[in-house]
């Protein structure tokens, strides 16, 4: 009788072991699911960061190119203004209003014409037709007549406060040339200035 009782208890133990093994598998599957979701979230964040970084670098490169384009345009305009000033024969076109982009200046140390001009919507400047492609607008320049100098000893020299100096022949006319330009967009703006003396 005792042998039969011992033999009959074996199936119950086997079923209990199966239930315990199944519970462990379910627990392991839950841990794997959580780990997989965490790795997926991490990879998604890395992907978003990569896309954001690439987009930022592209914007920085575009802004740098825009700045260089504006600088080249302004430099072209400045050189054109200096060339025009060199070819001037008379001063009749210079006036206080700068109707054709040529201004007469009473006090070059205090009158900053380039700060009051409406470079983007006005007309009191000279517009240059640039060969650069992709410009938002064509560059412009103005020329200001600062002073005329003569040398009593056969040479002339001048030092305009804040703008440099000139030393040369028996006389000279001093101009200030200011150029304004944009790059491929209206947000990129460059202004260049030089003091030019022609004898």
pLDDT value of position 54:
75
94 in any annotated domain: yes
In the chain, the number of structural domains is 1
pLDDT in tens, 58-76: 777 778 889 999 999 999 9
Q: Is residue 145 scored above 80 in pLDDT? A: yes
Please indicate, yes or no, if residue 179 is contained in any of the structural domains: yes
Q: Is the residue at 154 inside a domain?
A: yes
- pLDDT at residue number 62: 79
Does a structural domain hold residue 18?
A: no
Residue 158 belongs to some domain of the structure: yes
Burial class (CB in 10 A: 0-12, 13-18, 19+), 100: middle
- 59 domain residue, yes or no: no
* Most confidently predicted of 43-52, 87-96, 140-149: 140-149
Query: Which DSSP letter does residue 174 get?
Result: E
Query: Does 127 reside within a domain?
Result: yes
Residue range 15-46, pLDDT digits in tens:
455 555 555 555 556 677 778 888 888 888 88
The chain-wide mean pLDDT, for the chain, equals 77
Contacts of 175 (CB under 8 A, 6+ apart): 85, 143, 144, 145, 146, 195, 196, 197, 198
Which pLDDT tens digit goes with each residue over 148-191? Answer: 877 554 444 454 444 444 455 557 888 899 999 999 888 889 99
- pLDDT of 18: 52
Q: Identify the domain containing residue 193 by its residue range.
A: 72-198
Percent of all residues in the chain with a pLDDT value above 90, rounded to a whole number? 22
Distance CA 36, CA 57 (A): 32
């Amino acid at each position: 009788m005792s042998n039969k009782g011992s033999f009959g208890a074996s199936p119950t133990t086997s079923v209990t072991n199966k239930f315990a093994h199944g519970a462990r598998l379910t627990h392991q599957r839950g841990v794997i699911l959580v780990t997989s979701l965490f790795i997926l979230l991490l990879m998604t964040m890395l992907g978003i960061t990569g896309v954001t970084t690439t987009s930022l670098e592209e914007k920085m490169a575009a802004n740098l190119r825009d700045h260089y384009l504006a600088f080249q345009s302004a430099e072209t305009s400045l050189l054109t203004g200096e060339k025009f000033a060199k070819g001037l024969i008379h001063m009749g076109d210079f006036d206080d209003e700068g109707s054709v982009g040529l201004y007469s200046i009473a006090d070059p140390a205090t009158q900053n014409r380039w700060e009051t001009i409406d470079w983007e919507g006005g007309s009191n400047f000279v517009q240059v037709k640039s060969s650069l492609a992709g410009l938002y607008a064509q560059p412009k320049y103005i020329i200001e007549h600062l002073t005329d100098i003569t040398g009593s000893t056969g040479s002339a020299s001048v030092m305009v406060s804040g703008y440099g100096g000139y030393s040369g022949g028996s006389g000279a006319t001093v101009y200030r040339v200011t150029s304004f330009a944009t790059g491929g967009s209206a947000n990129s703006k460059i202004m260049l200035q030089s003091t030019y003396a022609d004898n």
